[in-house]
Each structure stands twice: as C-alpha cells, then as structure tokens.
Amino acid sequence: MIPRKFGFLCFFCTSCFYGTPIFKIALPYFYYCADKPLSPAIAENRLRFLQEKFHAEIPEDSPPAADFLFIPSSAIRPPDKRQGILLFCLNHPLLRFHYKYWSNYLDAGADIILWNPKNGIQNPKNYAAVLKTILEYTRAHYPQAAICLHSHCASSDPAIAAVSEKCDPDIHLIIDRGHGDISSLVRSFPLVGYFIGEGNLDDYDCHGIHKIGTIPGKILSLVAMHDQVMNSESGNLTRRLSERCPHQEMHEMITGDHWSYYDEETYLVMCRFMVDLGILLHIPPYPGPSTSSSSCQVQNLARVILH
C-alpha cells in the first residue's frame, strides 16, 4: 500500500484531468512524461514524416474538437476478414506518441487512429464527450469494422463512459492500468481531492466503474502488481473494474509498474486478444521496452518519489 503522504505524485500524474489552473503550466512535464507543446515547426516535420512513411491522413471531415490522424494498415486483408481499427486514447499530444508503439500493428492488419482533444484535456467529461464524436465518426465511415480502444491510466474512465453509451458489440476496450472511480483515487491520494475541490468531484467523475458492466463488447484489463498509482486503499483500481464486469479478461503484469512498457508475456496476451477480435490478422513481433531518454527520466523520477 502506498503511504498517503506520497499522494502528491498522483496529482502530478493526473494533472491534465484534475489540475487547477495554477498547475497547468508546470504539471504537463509530469503527466505528459515531459511532453510540453510542440513548436509549430517540429509538429509540421513530424506530421510530414508520418504522412510520407505511413500514409497518415487528416480527413477533411474529421471531428472538429479533436486532433485526429488515420493511419491505414500496410497489410492486405483477405476478402473474408473485415476491417480492424485500433484507436488509441492518448494522454498526451498525438505527435509525441512514438511510431515504435503502433507501427507493428499496421503490419499485422490494423488501421490506427490517433487523437487528442484540440484544446487540451480539460477534464475527463470533456475527454469523454470528444471521444464520443470520434466513435460516431469512425462508425459512420467504417460501418462494418471491428474497433478496439486502447486506454491508459486517466483516459480509462472517460473511455469506459464513451463506449458504454454507444452500446455497440463491435467496439471493444483495452484498459491498461486505468481506473473508473475518481472517488477511490481521491481517498488514497488526498491532494487530488484538494486541488479538485471536494464539492467539484462529480464534475471530474465519468462513473466508469458503474458503467463498465453495460459494455456489450469484449474488455481486456491489464493490471500491474507494483502500480504506484492504481494500488489504492480499496485495492487495485484496475482489478476492481474487472470485478464489476465478469465477462472481461484480466491479465496481471508480473514485472513492471504503472509507467513501464509491457513485458513480452503481456504484449502477447494483448495481441492475442486483438487477433481474436479480428483487429489484427496475426501477432506482430515484440517491439521491446521503451528506450526514450525523456520518458525514462520522468519514469525514474516518479519511482524515486513514490518509493
């Protein structure tokens, strides 16, 4: 169990959802793994790279409230296999999401959607509202596709809320070390509640733990044994989500913590899940753990503070 006095780091890790204005300048360095906004020149160069290397597209009619990229698969699907779309619910600007972590899925047959709210992640309810427009756009343009959302940490609560409202059996969800219960998070990390303000708690709660059981699609939860954020006073918050939804799968990561990239066993479990759904045609090679220096530095800082 994490001592309550270390709760301030959880506030850092959820700053873009729960932070007060005075902290919104400093805290993205923690929550976004040191991802400050890209300069226009760098953003333009990265977008051009994705367009040239992966044929990334910004559809003219994409949802106006979101930064949106559609990246078509490089694989040829057999005629009897319908389209599979993997939609990443990011907690940081999409152009900072390294292609190392999704290009392997393109080779295995999945089309990729990357997105984030255009005006920043103001709070979880705003995130869920924009995500609903993304799902509506995706279903309207790809009516026969199987869709799988990948959420992590704070994006899980709004992702559950958005998917539950669609009631679509062909929209599935991977919950990667995420929660659906801001109240339990606040009880374990009091500073989160302090900066939100106890009276405003409902404004930041998408009630994912109460909605997850209504999702007709398949769900895979990834639980880290040594999760410094999700291990709360009431138990692991990701595991509690799975207990509310008996038909979902749960996998416990033996190695790693809240910020680690997947070990190979977890990666295989996640890929098999997507193969069974028809998102992937086969299991792509394991890309290996992150070697990003900025990401590693922030992860190590967080681990030092929490321990």
CB 161 within 8 A of CB 171: no
One CATH from 3.40.630.10, 3.20.20.70, 3.40.50.1820, 3.90.1150.10 for 51-184+207-291: 3.40.50.1820
- Provide the pLDDT for residue 63: 93
- Provide the pLDDT for residue 241: 85
Among 9, 141, 180, smallest CA distance to 62 is for 141
- Provide the pLDDT for residue 26: 42
Q: What is the pTM of this model?
A: 0.82
- Provide the pLDDT for residue 120: 64
- Provide the pLDDT for residue 31: 38
C-alpha dihedral, 109 to 166 to 168 to 170, nearest 10°: 10
- Provide the pLDDT for residue 244: 83
- Provide the pLDDT for residue 196: 60
- Provide the pLDDT for residue 197: 57
- Provide the pLDDT for residue 32: 34
CB 10 within 8 A of CB 191: yes
Domain borders along the chain are: 51-184+207-291
Going residue by residue through the chain (307 aa), what tens digit of pLDDT does each one get? 444 444 444 444 444 444 444 444 443 344 334 356 678 999 999 999 999 999 999 999 999 999 999 999 999 999 999 999 999 999 888 998 999 999 999 999 999 999 998 876 668 888 999 999 999 999 999 999 999 999 998 899 999 999 999 999 999 999 998 888 877 777 776 656 555 655 567 777 898 999 999 999 999 999 888 888 888 777 888 888 888 876 778 888 777 888 788 889 999 999 999 999 999 999 999 987 754 434 444 444 443 333 3
- Provide the pLDDT for residue 82: 95
